[in-house]
Amino acid sequence: MSIFLDKLFAHSTKFIAITILFIVAWIFTVLVEHSMESIHAFGFDFLTTDIWAPNLEKFGALPAIYGSVVSTFLAMILAIPLAIGVAIFLSELAPARLKTPVGVSIELLAAIPSVIYGMWGLFYFVPIIRDAFGGVGISMLTAGIILSIMILPFMAAVTRDAMNTTPDILKESAYALGGTKWDVIKDVIIPYAKAGIIGSVILALGRAIGETMAVTFVMGNVHKISLDLTMPATSIPVALANEFTEADGDLYYSSLFELSLILLVISFAIISVAKFYFLRRKRD
Amino acid sequence: MATIIDIKEEIALQVKDFEYTYAGADAPSVKKLNMPIAKNSITALIGPSGCGKTTLLRSFNRMHDLYPGNKYAGEILFKNRNILDKNEDLIHLRTQIGMIFQKPTAFPMSIFDNVAYGLRLQGIKNKTELQDRVEKSLQNAAIWKEVKDRLKHDANGLSGGQQQRLCIARAIAVEPEVLLFDEPTSALDPISTAGIEELVVELKEKVSIIIVTHNMQQAARVSDYTGFMYLGELIELGVTENMFVTPTEKLTEEYITGKFG
Amino acid sequence: MTHTHKRIIINRIVMSLSSLSALIGMGFLFWILGVLIYNGVDALNWNIFLNEGAPPGHEDGGLKHALIGQLYIVGVATLAGVPLGVLAGTYLSEYGQKSKLAETIRDISDIMMSAPSIVIGAFVYAVVVMPMGHFSGWAGSIALTIIMLPIILRTTDDMLHLVPSTLREAAFALGAPKYKVIIQVVYRGAKAGILTGVLLGIARVAGETAPLLFTSFNDNFLNTNMNESMASLTVTMFNYATSPYEDWQKLGWAAAFILSMFILSLNIVGRLFLLKKKGR
């Protein structure tokens, strides 16, 4: 009896664990399957066409891809220096009595759902952008800024963790040669934690590019490529969030599924690079 | 009262009524300590764990200042000034008083850049001067022959013993007057340890050396003077040969004969 | 000395910049928190918990429908996700260990933890909503379960791994079969850690909006039938906030406040559990 239960327990845990792999494979298959109609209709042109016209049954992903890339890029260039500044502050600069409370609040803020950042952006940040640049305030720029604020706590927290892996004794050695704090940070801590810091930044990038709610409020979902950052725009997640429930017609749906597939492939690639190239898990 | 013999050499550092209290601690970890450190000699600090010897050592280059809330009292005189003074320039002090740690601490950069690091901090940019001084330091640290063909390689590719000698080369490159060794061989195998000990003895021609060690044989092998510390106090400072044969204090005798610690 | 002076000045500049960026970062974040509390407390009243949604212009609109819908959707996801995640994590730590299969499952779960949740929504739409022909609470729960699974699995794996192997060996030495060792000894040793993982997992999915948009969809009235579209706090918040009606926007802030407080409390309680364990 005991042997039977033992085997049953072992096999059922294994079965459930393997189910995870199965689900992931299933997600890919289903997305590919549902994208087929769009793939057949547009082929590679889907990626390079800048027209998204449901009424004409013509779909091109370029504006959404462009919007995803530009908004994420904006978010990254705004967030990276701030996050590294916060990380340096938390790991090297803050007095002991500030380190824990500030560190914990950063971590808690990383836990606040992105829908709240989006709502805050809509009510408090859109008017600022409107006053500063004219227009409606709903724009690529607004989306980039809100996105950067949303990923800032996550990026700062993981970058700090990476910096904290530098052994004290290594830092002390550099101080013992007459280094200033900044000398020690740039010559010892950053080189030592380089892989971890780059990995954290890329991981934040992977999260940012798939982030939906923080940008959906403030981007506008306009499928038009504009070099003017103060114009409304769209991104893959924004298009999905706005149009999935309203789509009519198989080709429309299929194009949306292809957008999801593109997004999943891009994020899988980015997250894999971060996790496996830079943040290889260490265990014993 | 502690037994402190007279030093016949010049004095490099003079510790006067020194006390040190860690942040948040009620009692000082080093108490009312008086101690001369002889110039161009090796002074070993021995004593059981927690006796305050490393705490004292890390006061000579104000390493404690990296962590907030610690308190110094008394004086440590070095070149006619009290280095515990609030206005002491710590960056300058640390170029005059270097330190070697329990574990090798090669920076994540090339062998050459490791040794050149302190020199570059001082603003030396001239290539030939850097090369000359790096080579000289590596020779003085008895590691030049092993690394001269791979100066551009990552320093972390060296063995533990080599890395520790590299750290010594890095420390002497900036030509300090005092070198602090904090159990420099505790992470090394016996052969590397012998190499480091030999090197330490050679170095005293140019610098004054203070070495903290757990290993009494090591203290006996390398040092000229030995200070025995217990519970934050200096119990006895003597000439090494005499200390290990005829200690004056009863506590010292008990410690070196292995009755405690 | 001039070079050293230069270094000292550069050091001061960089350190000020770092403190400034910390200040800016914290400033933004506290601005958001402040706004949330200010608007949330302002909008809170008992009617919110007692009344269902109302058309714009009605004074007595509430969030009861969204609160209960949220409870159902997240509750079902938790009931499914926690046991599955814990068992799968048990396989990784206790059976698979460092095998290729276990490592692959770890890698894939790590990626899934950061994968875009809206794509999970699209997947569930394809495999649940389309065949059923309509949105449903079940579909929302399934999407959240898929998001929760890798989180619970990886924390369980890590927490079980922290249980010293001597504890297992001691139990084996008494002749216990492996499943009993795991259930009676290993789980107990990792209790606090697993609980923290569960709390953080719930906190994470409770804030998800994107995967619910086209699975559980929304409903402005109370519905407890998981077979039909169902309101959630997050989707309601999105719809209300983007509506042009001021009273709906106000309810949106109330929803935002309630949700944030719930999620922050889960996070704080989870951390306290871990701290308490470390302290012992």
CATH number of the domain to which A174 belongs: 1.10.3720.10
The pLDDT, as a whole number, for residue A200 is 92
Q: Give the closest-approach CA distance of A56 to chain C in angstroms.
A: 23
Domain assignment present for C130: yes
- Identity of the residue in A175, A177, A187 whose CB atom sits nearest the CB atom of B170: A177
The pLDDT of residue A284? 46
Q: Looking at the domain assignment, is residue C50 inside a domain?
A: no
Are the Cβ atoms of A180 and B91 closer than 8 angstroms? yes
Q: Report if residue A139 sits inside a domain.
A: yes
pLDDT of residue B8: 87
Instruction: Using the predicted structure, report yes or no on whether residue B4 has a pLDDT greater than 50.
Output: yes
- pLDDT of B77 > 50? The answer is yes
How many domains, in total, are found in chain A? 1
Structural domain includes residue B153? no
Interface of A with B (CB under 8 A): 95-96, 167, 169-180, 183, 187-188, 191-192, 194
Q: What is the mean pLDDT of chain C?
A: 92
C155 and C245 inside one domain: yes
Give B-chain residues touching A196 at CB under 8 angstroms: none
Is the Cβ pair C29, A149 closer than 8 Å?
Answer: yes
Residue A191 with chain B: CB contacts under 8 Å:
107-109
Co-location of C228 and C188 in the same domain: yes
pLDDT of residue C58: 83
Give the pLDDT confidence score for residue C277 in this predicted structure. 67
How many domains does chain B divide into?
Answer: 1
**Residue A256 falls inside a structural domain:** yes
Residues C80 and C215 in one domain: yes
Q: Is residue C53 part of a domain?
A: no
Compare CB distances from A12 to C87, C114, C123 and report the shortest one's residue.
C87
ipTM above 0.90, yes or no: yes
Task: Tell me what the mean pLDDT of segment A64-70 comes to.
Answer: 97
Q: How many domains does chain C have?
A: 2
Does residue C276 register a pLDDT over 90? Answer: no
The rounded distance, in Å, linking the Cα atoms of C151 and A272 is 17
Say if residues C160 and C93 touch (Cβ distance below 8 Å).
yes
Q: How far apart are CA B244 and CA C78, in angstroms?
A: 70
Query: C278: which chain A residues are within 8 Å (Cβ-Cβ)?
Result: none
CATH no. for residue B91? 3.40.50.300
Partner chains of C (3+ C-beta pairs under 8 Å): A, B
Q: How far is B74 from chain C (nearest CA, A)?
A: 28
- Would residue C57 count as lying in a domain? no
Q: How far is B100 from chain C (nearest CA, A)?
A: 22
In chain B, what is the greatest distance between 2 CA atoms, to the nearest angstrom? Answer: 57
pLDDT score recorded for residue A281: 61
Asked if residue C252 belongs to a domain, the reply is: yes
Strand partners, B210: B43, B180
Q: Which residue of C has its CA nearest to A21?
A: C105
In a domain, C187, yes or no: yes
pLDDT at A212: 95
pLDDT at residue C278 is higher than 80: no
- Range of the structural domain that residue C25 is part of: 2-43
Residues C29 and C134 in one domain: no
| Residues C23, C77 share a domain | no
d(CA C116, CA A268): 9
Query: Each residue of A157-202: pLDDT tens digit?
Result: 999 999 999 999 999 999 999 999 999 999 999 999 999 999 999 9
B122 and C2 within 8 Å at the Cβ level: the answer is no
Report pLDDT for C279.
52
Banded pLDDT at B261 (limits 50, 70, 90): low
Structural domain range at position A221:
52-278
A24 assigned to some structural domain:
no
| pLDDT per residue as tens digits for the range C44-101 | 988 889 888 888 888 788 999 999 999 999 999 999 999 999 999 999 999 999 999 9
Q: Percent of chain C having pLDDT more than 90?
A: 72
- The predicted structure's pLDDT at residue A188: 95
Touching subunits for chain A (3+ Cβ pairs under 8 A): B, C
Taking contacts as CB-CB distances below 8 angstroms, the residues of chain C near B122 are 3-4
Q: How far is CA A252 from CA A25, A30, B206, C46, C149, in A?
A: 24, 16, 82, 44, 31
Q: For A204, which residue in chain C has the nearest alpha carbon?
A: C114
Position B202 pLDDT exceeds 80 = yes
Q: Check A183 against B94: CB less than 8 A apart.
A: no
Reported confidence tier of residue C280, pLDDT bands at 50, 70, 90:
very low
**Cα A141 to Cα A119: distance, rounded to the nearest angstrom:** 16
Answer yes or no: do A172 and B121 touch at CB < 8 A. Answer: no
- Those residues of chain C whose CB sits closer than 8 Å to some CB in chain B are 2-4, 6-8
- C32 & C108 share domain: no
Mean pLDDT of chain B: 93
Distance CA B107, CA C83 (A): 47
> Residue B76: what are its φ and ψ, rounded to 5°?
-125, 115
* B207 interfaces chain A, CB cutoff of 8 Å: no
Are C153 and C19 found together in one domain? no
- Encode pLDDT of A3-32 as tens digits: 899 999 999 999 999 999 999 999 999 999
Q: Indicate the residue of A9, A117, A276 with minimum beta-carbon distance to C179.
A: A9
Instruction: Report if residue A58 sits inside a domain.
Output: yes
Q: What is the pLDDT of residues C131-166, one digit of tens each?
A: 999 999 999 999 999 999 999 999 999 999 999 988
Nearest CA in chain A to B90: A178
Q: Cα A168 vs. chain centroid, distance in angstroms?
A: 32
Do C7 and B92 lie within an 8 Å CB cutoff? Answer: no
Tell me the CATH number at C200: 1.10.3720.10
Domain that holds residue B74: 3-105+177-256
